[in-house]
Amino acid sequence: MDVYSPKKRSDVMRSIRSRDTAPEVALRKALFRLGYRYRLHVKSLPGKPDIVLPKYRVIVDVRGCFWHGHDCGDGHIPETRREYWSPKISGNMARDRNHEERLSKLGWKVLVVWGCECTPTRIGGTVGKISAVLRETLAVS
Ligand SMILES: [Zn+2]
């Protein structure tokens, strides 16, 4: 059972949607502080990826947990109107997979970061992991 009334639920969903970009902003600020330079929302690449680091040929794809079906608390689909949300979310997930495949065929490494990994308490660790991958990428190339 959904714990929210339909009205409250739609408010919650709207706030999740508008917050969707907050993790991305937090993440790119943190990367910038570490000296990484990137391009944003590159239209010429499949899926118009959020954060592109051309020097490393790495893409950081920041996904909102709810809209992209993350297996975490924020990604939980409410019981009520499940038939409404499920197809939208599976559609997003299928698109994500498709973009990821096309990008990797083009020689890009795609790092998926979830919204819940960009909270103030977790973002440090997340950026640390990205940074480690980037250093490794330069070392092998
Ligand atoms: Zn999540």
For ligand 1, a single-atom ion, the residues with CB < 5 A are 65, 70, 72, 74, 114, 116
Q: Report pLDDT digits (tens) over 48-91.
A: 998 999 999 999 999 999 999 999 988 877 777 888 888 999 99
Residue 19 has what pLDDT? 42
**Beta strand segments in 1-139, E:** 39-40, 51-53, 58-63, 109-114
Q: How confident is the model at residue 9 (pLDDT cuts 50, 70, 90)?
A: low
Mean predicted confidence (pLDDT) in 29-40? 94
- Alpha carbons 41 and 50: distance in angstroms, whole number: 4
pTM: 0.80
Q: Report pLDDT digits (tens) over 83-129.
A: 888 899 999 999 999 999 999 999 999 999 999 999 999 999 999 99
How far is the first Cα of the chain from the last one, in angstroms, to the nearest whole number? Answer: 52
Report how far ligand 1's centroid is from the alpha carbon of 122 (Å).
11
The DSSP secondary-structure symbol of 58 reads E
Distance of CA 28 to the CA centre of its chain: 12
Q: Is the pLDDT of residue 17 over 90?
A: no
- Cβ atoms of 1 and 80 within 8 Å: the answer is yes
Report how far ligand 1's centroid is from the alpha carbon of 140 (Å).
31
- Alpha carbons 18 and 119: distance in angstroms, whole number: 15
